[in-house]
Amino acid sequence: MDWSFIAEHVPDYLSGAFVTLRFGLYGVLLSLAVGLLCCLARFFRIPAARQAAHVYVELSRNTPLLVQLFFLYAGLPRVGVKLSAEACAVIGLTFLGGGYMAEAFRSGLDAVEKSQREAGECLGLTKPQVIRYILLPEALATAAPALFANVIFLIKETSMFSVLAMMDLMNVADTLRTSGGRTIEVLVMLAASYFIILLPISMIASLVERRLRRGEPGHQHSV
């Protein structure tokens, strides 16, 4: 292991991690928004929007991100829609993530007892109030593990941004690998970088999940 090589290239990995995290974060946030909208459209059976959401969710969940990115980046410009690599990255990740987030939200909403909603209506809450104060909080608590799993999944999927010639972690490592020949050092640093990024996210996830489970009937304080 050549430690001076590793020390020399830490800044490269830092800038790669910054790209990975930045576009990963955009993708995650937009995915949450798209997923929530799709899920609500289906839950409240809004005509047209509901069908559109269904088709979208199925398309996004049954195709690989790599193919979606190739279509956006190399296919669409041929019919006059030119997008920058960054735009493709965010649109692609959101297209993929929105479907997964929609399903996670849906499993949460489905788990809310109907009586909860009815009780809210009986108390004179308006429909938006029922959504805001009853449905969403309860659904979110149930959906939290799936939502966090999706966040980790999406950050991992950003490794495919390298096909857009973006200098994310994956591409930084690949460039160093092909130019220097220090394959092992390059790969060890790559793996370590993803680990350092994802470990805190995973720890926050289990912390939040434990918080949310507290007070539930039958909840045990286990690790």
Partner 1 sequence: MENLGISILFKGVNFQRLLGGLWVTLRIALITMGLSVVLGLVFGLMMLSRVKAFRVWCRVQLEIVRFMPQLVLLYIVYFGFARLFSLDLNGETSAVLVFTFWGAAEMGDLMRGALTSIPAHQRESAAALGLTKGQIYRYVLIPQTLRRLLPQAMNLFTRVIKTTALVKMINVTEVLKVGQQIIGQFYRQPDAAFWVYLTIFILYFILCRPITLLSARLEKRWA
Q: Which residues bind partner 1 (CB under 8 A)?
A: 58-59, 61-68, 70-71, 74-79, 152, 156-160, 163, 170, 173-174, 177, 183-184, 187, 190-191, 194-195, 198-199, 202
- 41 vs 160, beta carbon nearer partner 1: 160
Question: With helix as H, strand as E and coil as C, how does the chain read?
Answer: CCHHHHHHHHHHHHHHHHHHHHHHHHHHHHHHHHHHHHHHHHHCCCCCHHHHHHHHHHHHHCCCHHHHHHHHHHHHHHHCCCCCHHHHHHHHHHHHHHHHHHHHHHHHHHHCCHHHHHHHHHCCCCHHHHHHHHHHHHHHHHHHHHHHHHHHHHHHHHHHHHHHCCCCHHHHHHHHHHHHCCHHHHHHHHHHHHHHHHHHHHHHHHHHHHHHHCCCCCCCCCC
Q: How far is the CB of 62 from partner 1 (least distance, A)?
A: 4
In the complex with partner 1, the residue whose CB is nearer, 136 or 151, is 151
In angstroms, give the least distance from the CB of 132 to partner 1: 29
Provide, rounded to whole angstroms, the least separation between the CB of residue 92 and partner 1. Answer: 12
When the beta carbons of 50 and 177 are compared against partner 1, the nearer one is: 177
**Is the CB of 138 or the CB of 174 nearer to partner 1?**
174
Shortest distance, position 70 Cβ to partner 1, whole Å: 5
> At closest approach, how far in Å is the CB of 121 from partner 1?
27
Q: Which residue number, 78 or 214, has a Cβ lying nearer to partner 1?
A: 78
